[in-house]
Amino acid sequence: MHVIELNEHWCKGCRVCVFHCPTKSLRIASRFTMRGIHPPELVEAERCNGCRLCELLCPDFAITVMEAVSVNA
């Protein structure tokens, strides 16, 4: 299980992460950020395999992929 953390001040909504995602688990959100752009969001958290391609391909250093570790584990 993975989550993405987005730096909304740095993201410019260029969609490079969305169309490069191999599992198609990202999409453009309908909400606006403070900069007035539509940010990417993780819709299929189960489908995301944590390959971190979005993180490596982000031209604005805005995405971080993180693994959600259970407290009880």
Partner 1 sequence: MSGLLKLKTAAELRQIYLRHEMFPTIFCDGCGLGNVLNYTLWALDELQLDLDRTVFVSGIGCSSRLSGYVNADGMHTTHGRALAFASGIKAAQPDLNVIVFTGDGDGSGIGGNHLLHTIRRNMDLTVILVNNFTYGMTGGQVAPTTPIDSFSTTTPYGNIEYPLDICALAQTLGAPYVARWMINQPYPPIKSIAQGIQKRGFALIEMLVPCPTAYGRRNGLKQLETIWQWYRDHTILIDDYEHIMHFGSPEERAALHDKIKIGVFQDYERESFEERWATLVEQVKL
Q: How far is CA 62 from CA 9, 59, 71, in A?
A: 8, 8, 27
Residues in touch with partner 1 (CB under 8 A): 1, 3, 5, 9-16, 19-20, 35, 52-53, 55-61, 64-71
* Least distance in angstroms from the C-beta of 32 to partner 1: 16
* CB 43 to partner 1: min, Å: 14
Closer residue to partner 1, CB minimum distance, 30 or 73: 73
Residue 31, burial from CB neighbour count under 10 angstroms (0-12, 13-18, 19+): exposed
